[in-house]
Structure 1
């Protein structure tokens, strides 16, 4: 199917991410699936379409933009460490500034954790993942794929800021100022934080092991 499948996968990817979260579809889905069921279904759909999109990029006609070199594999190998750490420290944590936060009413701006570094850690992780994978994938389809994701993550941060500022009113700026005054690192990391760091290490190792099975390419030199 070549470029047609790649373009179709792109359209489906963006529709599957935009339509379910817009009214009136989101309230209708949440009423039938529940809040947790909606989150699980939305996450599963997103991962499935993402897997299709990546596979479609691999099946698209190969148009070389730059030649591959051995040093390029070290870029994603290095960057994916921080990406895994950001994911482990942010998933399931309160974050009223962005999407996907859990128990946002329990957010403490004096101890914001990863939010002290970025209001949108999931989008930051997406941008780093995508930008790092552009380097060793110098064909047109993959440059479009990863380049679009990086741009989407950076633009998405601005759009989410705009929406949340509108929804939260003056509280958005007040909370942002309190987060900016918080320390970058806790003097004594909690047990939960250490578990999340361990989870990040496990995730990194799992990705190294599973990459050849999932994508047909070893990430190691």
Structure 2
């Protein structure tokens, strides 16, 4: 393993590890020491610092180093494009009535029947990040992309599992009822019940994001790969 890849792995571990540590075992201690606003400041600074480290380490690893398979074919790009569309729909829908987000109405939202993308999963934002990770590994299975994508997927899926435990303790019966009415694992049949708004917003986000991809990553993505 070369030094650049080792640095990326260290940065990814730091990024994910500090998120988990500050969100769970260390949160109470830090809040008691510096208060709620101080905790938010510490959390934000650590998150930004470790993310910046990971981004710089990612750029330092050669982009074409030893891909595990050929990710340039139309079929694999078609699958990745479909996953990114689904990710965009879930991400957009996650902002509408999500009891997992910081909101004084969270308990009341959790007591409602599932709506929108919550027919698919109670963690649509986290699954959006996980699907993003899978899509990028499919088309670019290089060591640096695998490390970055794995970090994001672990943060999203392990983090959402830990969030369930934290919400159970904080919200009690309200969150337990929400868990009983929703699924951790995605149910794709729920997409038919998601409603128009997540789909419209998701398609717009998907089109804009894939259009911008060529300027941000120098690789045409989504429909632009075929019509650009």
Q: Return the match for 1:77 from 73, 81, 87.
A: 81
Q: Return the match for 2:90 from 86, 92, 116.
A: 86
Distance across 2 between alignment mates of 1:29 and 1:205 = 41
Distance across 2 between alignment mates of 1:109 and 1:7 = 41
For CA contacts below 8 A with separation 6 or more, give which structure has more relative contact order.
2
Matched-pair contact (CA < 8 Å) for 1:69–1:136? yes
Displaced runs of 4 or more, over 6 A: 185-188
SS in 1 for 2:122: coil
Provide closer, same or farther for how the CA distance between residues 186 and 91 of structure 1 changes in structure 2, counting only shifts above 3 A.
same
User: Cα deviation per residue 1:130-168 (whole Å; 9 max; x = unaligned)?
Assistant: 111111112122122213433443323322222322333
Matched-pair contact (CA < 8 Å) for 1:68–1:136? yes
Provide closer, same or farther for how the CA distance between residues 94 and 118 of structure 1 changes in structure 2, counting only shifts above 3 A.
same
1:31 aligns with 2:37: yes
1:131 aligns with 2:134: yes
Distance across 2 between alignment mates of 1:188 and 1:215 = 31
Provide closer, same or farther for how the CA distance between residues 15 and 162 of structure 1 changes in structure 2, counting only shifts above 3 A.
closer
Which position in structure 2 is the counterpart of 1:201? 203
Unpaired segments ≥5 residues, structure 2: 184-189
Matched-pair contact (CA < 8 Å) for 2:126–2:157? yes
Which position in structure 1 is the counterpart of 2:58? 57
Count residues in correspondence.
205
TM-score (norm 1): 0.72
TM-score (norm 2): 0.70
Provide closer, same or farther for how the CA distance between residues 11 and 147 of structure 1 changes in structure 2, counting only shifts above 3 A.
closer
Which position in structure 1 is the counterpart of 2:159? 156
Provide closer, same or farther for how the CA distance between residues 93 and 16 of structure 1 changes in structure 2, counting only shifts above 3 A.
farther
SS in 1 for 2:28: coil
Unpaired segments ≥5 residues, structure 1: none
Distance across 2 between alignment mates of 1:218 and 1:158 = 34
